[in-house]
Structure 1
């Protein structure tokens, strides 16, 4: 079976959540580096509806992106269930993708060139979350650089910070994987916080603070260097308080926990600087410019 990125990447990428005993746990898997980025995707009939004509003109013909909002069962695995998107949310979701992702890249030097070269061939809209047979919920996925799946689009509300940030995390995390797939990770990146990576399948046992103390922006970032790279970029793009939370040192530390958080922030800063240098060198895009463009519209 083909491996997937189920949200935020070296094997299948997925954000999942376990719900039970009042506990909500977000889970992420990733994508394999060896997956092909130029996978051929299935074509559909010529567009006939007003919506399909709009998609064909503004996404398929313009960027080579196919927008999938029908036949949702084709985009989930056996044992998963999901609802299709409502027809009236498809155009607003397209506007969101355009405003918060495509136009952002087009607004920065070298961004449009890079975007057009590596944009995934498919965007899939699912109406709700993906419910799995084991009781978990998948929040977003991507497939080998060729497809990004947005979930819960029926709840679209750009004024809902939690919903909007989830979509931005999904798309910027997954798109960031394309950088390391094509140009590897920054030299020595894996060694910056080497002792903080989790053992296989255990990252979801960490709290956010424990991850920060280890030098990671999220528990999922501890799952592998590739996920660490993508998570750091996604958080840097989407989180308005990124510097206060993950970079700036707390003053007047009087506890060991405070000192550990500050040490973790130094590691995140070192990784961020390495990422920005590598990103600029490999893509021509300045991540500071990209972040500024995102934050200007949030």
Structure 2
């Protein structure tokens, strides 16, 4: 009986090890592929207009590792991603190129854009227009509802976010004077900014938006983002409802903002605003579906 058990075990061992020998994998070939596949025409176009001149990576293919797992999100469509890439180049980068020093954008502009098709909402019900990480990456949401015929909506949903986050990079690189902080020092409301102005106007307290009232840095960059996306006439109209004290504070703040941008970065805010407005007026003449490399 013992001999029979021994022979049976021997047969099993031969069978197992023989099977392993037959299925021995080729260790030179990984079962996990890291290949991104061949570059399509849009990928090549992005390299030409964003990566090579500005070192900007434009992510439109869904990557879980780059998305925010706190929200239920969907990928951006290929067609709208093309439109947004052309819009970023035309309305933002080309506008700065008209007025900024050489290599300014390549050195300081965020290095990664992530496109998300759906909107994201915070627990307090407010929509996330965009997020930024360490001054390097900007995520833009709601790309699948992109409307290229509505310039004000483009500003509100996407470009004020881009200008806002880019301005954070600038003041974090070279800070503005603390005189700015003192103008509204007793009026900032911190994290309650979304509820603090219920039934009241943040303009009367000297803030260009409710979010500006969160703290000085947000106030500073919101002023830049709103100023350069308004014409002289629309800026005046925006400030018109504010109280006299609110207008006075906003005027004081803008004097500091303009001085900072000119003295530190050699950028004239009024020239930048004109460059953006001029391009916005001609937006309907642009082929935003183009991915042809010239």
Note if 1:263 corresponds to 2:245. yes
Q: CA deviation at 1:79?
A: 2.8
CA gap of 1:157–1:238, structure 2 versus 1, over 3 A, is same
Is the Cα–Cα contact under 8 Å of residues 230 and 273 in structure 2 kept in the other structure? Answer: no
Is the Cα–Cα contact under 8 Å of residues 82 and 131 in structure 1 kept in the other structure? Answer: no
Runs of 4 or more off by more than 3 Å in structure 1? 43-47, 131-137
Structure with the largest fraction of strand: 1
Root mean square deviation of aligned Cα: 2.2
Q: CA deviation at 1:135?
A: 5.7
Q: CA deviation at 1:208?
A: 8.7
Q: CA deviation at 1:233?
A: 0.5
Note if 1:94 corresponds to 2:85. yes
Q: Secondary structure at the match of 1:141?
A: strand
What is the TM-score with the length of structure 1 in the denominator?
A: 0.75
Is the Cα–Cα contact under 8 Å of residues 60 and 114 in structure 2 kept in the other structure? Answer: yes
CA gap of 1:53–1:292, structure 2 versus 1, over 3 A, is same
Is the Cα–Cα contact under 8 Å of residues 209 and 261 in structure 1 kept in the other structure? Answer: no
Structure with the largest fraction of helix: 2
Where in structure 1 are there 5+ consecutive unaligned residues?
A: 1-42, 251-257
List aligned pairs for 1:17-56, cutoff 5 A: 45=36, 48-56=39-47
Note if 1:194 corresponds to 2:185. yes
Is the Cα–Cα contact under 8 Å of residues 215 and 266 in structure 1 kept in the other structure? Answer: yes
Q: CA deviation at 1:137?
A: 3.5
CA gap of 1:266–1:44, structure 2 versus 1, over 3 A, is farther
Where in structure 2 are there 5+ consecutive unaligned residues?
A: 1-33, 281-294
Q: Secondary structure at the match of 1:201?
A: helix
What is the TM-score with the length of structure 2 in the denominator?
A: 0.76
CA gap of 1:277–1:135, structure 2 versus 1, over 3 A, is closer
Looking at structure 2, the residues matched to 168 and 294 of structure 1 have their Cα atoms a distance apart, in angstroms, of 11
CA gap of 1:207–1:297, structure 2 versus 1, over 3 A, is farther
CA gap of 1:92–1:120, structure 2 versus 1, over 3 A, is same
Aligned counterpart, 1:245: 238
CA gap of 1:289–1:135, structure 2 versus 1, over 3 A, is closer
Larger Rg: 2
| Aligned positions, number | 243
